[in-house]
Structure 1
Amino acid sequence: MKRPVYINDFSLRCILGSDEAQVLDSLTNGKRGTFTTYDVAGVMRPAATIDPATLAPVPEQKFDNRVNRLSQAAFSAIENTIRKAVEKFGADRVGIFLGSCDNGSEASMAALKYFKETGAFPEGYVLDYQRADFPAQFIAQRFGITGMLSVHSTACASSASAFVSARNNLYASNCDVAIVGGVDIASLSVILGFASLEAMSDKPTNPFSANRSGLSLGDAAVFFVVTKEPCADLCTAKCEGLKIVGFGESADADHITAPRADGEGAYQAMKAALNDAGLDASQIGYVNLHGTGTELNDAMESRAINRLFGEASHADVPVSSTKALTGHTLGAAGALELAFCCLAMNSRRESDACKNSSEKDYLLPAHLFDGVVDPNLPPVHLVKPGETAKDLKYCMSNSFAFGGCNVSLIVENGLA
């Protein structure tokens, strides 16, 4: 039985811009956001961090940290939709499902530094900042939501996992509407952690290139308002016809950080999403890759993509990693890249070649790299800046995390 989830509204904030038109322009033309460099043991590490000065303070002092300021900047665009949902269904029937990996380490590291210097923690500091549910509690408090609350910390798949949880709870009637998404920042503790794993590049990430040297981190907050039935009272014009129809999960159980080298786990997640949606791989018009720019990820994901779509004689499906543009936004990445798929589905426009016909083109998220394809990887069709597609009814978004936690989501454009 198919169990789709209908998208009523969504909003995002990342390094590519503060409004969707600007984000789409950067996304499809391969315009990288401004990366900030951090000195890590004498090596400069770039990260796509949003200038904290551009983020307004949170009115509730208890919740005023950088993570929640970023969330506030993102959900401000859908605040009316969230309030309508609370009014229509009741505060106790709205659920919150978020993905986040690092919500309070920045405040705790500052507090520890203060403690070492003074022998006491700063006034107002509480360990609650480190709680996994802290960013979700902020949203619940802001909108008076008393329904169920769930936060996933499954590394890079966190917010993709949140969508699976939201779908399951909507269909279990534990809530009537769900706020789903993710928020994460490239805090110093996270930068230091990835540097210790020797996974970070000393320049912006270069996925699927023979010259790649690791990943780059980034900031993002992304929120969706979803229901299990179409809801005319909530659905915005930009989301008409958009629904998530495929949810696929798998677990490698192969290594604590490295993905399974043959791509089997990634393949199984994508296959499960297709089966859940009742689709064949040949129907997918675009795939947003996990694409971290690490040697292990690029190798296994290209194998999985080549295998899945090659089986369907659809090996030329357009694919791209958008992490070269935004940095790897960790717990927010799954939701961010699903939002990018939605933006692409909304980008239908007349091209210069067919202004006098009824045909339209869709803009595709670009794959930004140095153009030096790794000859050791199975070939995939990497989207060039400005590339378009005639058909974009179905998009797939992949999130493959530490511990072999793999999630693949498929969104449908009902107006295509």
Structure 2
Amino acid sequence: MTTKIAKYTSTPVYIHGCGFNSALGDNHQDIHQRLRDGTYPQLQPVSDLLNSGADTVIGKVAGELPEIPENLQIYNAYNNRLALSALLQIADPIQQAINKYGRDRVAVIAGTSTSGTSDSEIALTENLESGQLPEHFDYSVHEANNLGEFIAAYFDLSGPVYTISTACSSSGRVFISAKRLLKAGMVDAVIVGGCDSLCQFTLNGFSGLEAMSDTFCNPFSVNRKGINLGEAAAFMLLSLAADDSEYTDTTSPIALLGAGDSSDAHHISAPHPEGNGAEEAMRKALDDAGMKPESIGYINAHGTSTPLNDAMESKAINRVFGANTPVSSTKPLTGHTLGAASAVEAAICWHVLRYQLPLPFQVNDGQIDPSLAPVALVKPGTPLVEPALLSNSFAFGGNNISLIFGYTHG
């Protein structure tokens, strides 16, 4: 049996490996089992993190994180250790790209919204209590660009390096930037992805916006209350060259087939109520791939479980795809990982394609909001039929990203 191939007309950007660590797990067995079962053991209720004293739910990674090498201690921050836990999973293809193209021809484009904020919180608390910052704390870990610089330093790269911070679309925009670098011939390979870690600042900020749920998030349900925050890291290596070595006669190389963005600037934090920017991003992604809506076999929705997001996203999806394309939000399994969310959900799409998993079904209480525009929420055991997946990420300020992933040739 050969893999059904997506019908696209753009030049694909090939994916050479995917490293992923989130509340879903940091290994294929856990990730696949939890996607199949819709289980979320690392989503945990907490009552001591919000200044208001309110309850909420967070998605934590499990297990020990790798240590930062001694010669890179200036980068020693929780967020960078979390990033390294995913990067080490694709260290071999990264090294192969370095050997093939040279250190100056491999770029790093990373996305984050928290960077080292959690370390800064600990350091400033200690300073208030003792009058001194921790001995090994370096303020540079707090800077947004620290993530990209750490990755480049770890792999000893001298190509272009930058970090994008556009809130919840941060690690989606990295794919667009990487595609442009590759097609301009400025580099031959790009490490892309994102990492965000839980911190008091973000948790209380979203609580102040009244966007947090006090229980498990409930996308597309009439009972939805808001988001659960999570932490995660997900990274991929991209190039314009296909590598068939890891594939068999039943699989095919996986690529970024299309990408679309928009900035509707409707409101600093609320999405456009009609989903105009979301619709524009999805249509641009389809145009970029040279694909029709009916070629998409699954939509990984932004699906934050806030009243406004799910309402506008349902409208936008319905206008572009109708009511039959399978849709689900995987945030009940990972939490909303903010700047890492795009990369996290791209990683989930990669796993579905690479290992031919059933589509992630919609985890919620089953009480679908009748006021939402109709969309086909995925049921358990639904297979992927059309071999292209679209993933949405929508951010503050109307910064919207849609990415299409699929098989290229068999």
Kindly indicate whether residue 368 of structure 2 is the aligned counterpart of residue 411 of structure 1.
no
Instruction: Tell me the amino acid that sits aligned with residue 195 of structure 1.
Output: S
Instruction: Tell me the amino acid that sits aligned with residue 397 of structure 1.
Output: S
2:362 to 345, 363, 367: 367
Q: Deviations 1:362-397 (Å, cap 9, x if unpaired)?
A: 5101210000010110111111233223x2311100
Instruction: Tell me the amino acid that sits aligned with residue 399 of structure 1.
Output: S
SS in 1 for 2:268: coil
TM-align CA RMSD: 1.6
Structure 1 segment 162-177 matched on structure 2, within 5 A: 162-177=174-189
1:333 to 321, 331, 341: 341
CA offset at residue 415 of structure 1?
Answer: 5.1
Instruction: Tell me the amino acid that sits aligned with residue 47 of structure 1.
Output: I
Aligned to 1:127: 139
1:14 to 6, 16, 22: 22
Aligned to 1:144: 156
Structure 2 CA distance for aligned equivalents of residues 66 and 54 of structure 1: 11
* Contact 1:392/1:413 (<8 A) preserved: no
Structure 1 CA distance for aligned equivalents of residues 11 and 106 of structure 2: 19
Structure 2 CA distance for aligned equivalents of residues 328 and 48 of structure 1: 8
Aligned to 1:226: 238
Gaps of 5+ in 2: 1-8
Gaps of 5+ in 1: 349-361
Structure 2 CA distance for aligned equivalents of residues 197 and 260 of structure 1: 17
* Contact 2:118/2:197 (<8 A) preserved: no
Instruction: Tell me the amino acid that sits aligned with residue 58 of structure 2.
Output: A
* Contact 2:281/2:401 (<8 A) preserved: yes
* Identity score, percent: 41
SS in 1 for 2:55: strand
What's the TM-score, normalizing by structure 2? 0.93
1:29 to 29, 32, 37: 37
SS in 2 for 1:400: strand
Aligned to 1:357: none
Aligned to 2:165: 153
Aligned to 1:252: 264
* Contact 2:171/2:341 (<8 A) preserved: yes
Number of aligned residue pairs: 395
1:342 to 346, 350, 354: 350
What's the TM-score, normalizing by structure 1? 0.91
* Contact 1:208/1:373 (<8 A) preserved: yes
SS in 2 for 1:125: coil
Structure 2 CA distance for aligned equivalents of residues 14 and 317 of structure 1: 27
Instruction: Tell me the amino acid that sits aligned with residue 202 of structure 2.
Output: V
Kindly indicate whether residue 386 of structure 2 is the aligned counterpart of residue 392 of structure 1.
yes
1:197 to 196, 203, 209: 209
Structure 2 CA distance for aligned equivalents of residues 33 and 320 of structure 1: 19
Kindly indicate whether residue 371 of structure 2 is the aligned counterpart of residue 376 of structure 1.
yes
CA offset at residue 24 of structure 1?
Answer: 1.7
CA offset at residue 336 of structure 1?
Answer: 1.1
* Contact 2:12/2:408 (<8 A) preserved: no
Aligned to 1:54: 64
CA offset at residue 339 of structure 1?
Answer: 1.4
Structure 1 segment 96-107 matched on structure 2, within 5 A: 96-107=108-119
1:84 to 75, 91, 96: 96
Structure 1 segment 303-318 matched on structure 2, within 5 A: 303-310=315-322, 315-318=323-326
Query: Could you tell which deviates more after superposition, 278-287 or 111-120?
Result: 111-120
CA offset at residue 109 of structure 1?
Answer: 1.2
Structure 2 CA distance for aligned equivalents of residues 35 and 287 of structure 1: 23
Query: Could you tell which deviates more after superposition, 3-12 or 317-326?
Result: 3-12
Aligned to 1:181: 193
* Contact 1:250/1:266 (<8 A) preserved: yes
Structure 1 CA distance for aligned equivalents of residues 26 and 139 of structure 2: 31
Q: Deviations 1:19-54 (Å, cap 9, x if unpaired)?
A: 123202211321113223142122122100124x52
* Contact 2:254/2:354 (<8 A) preserved: no
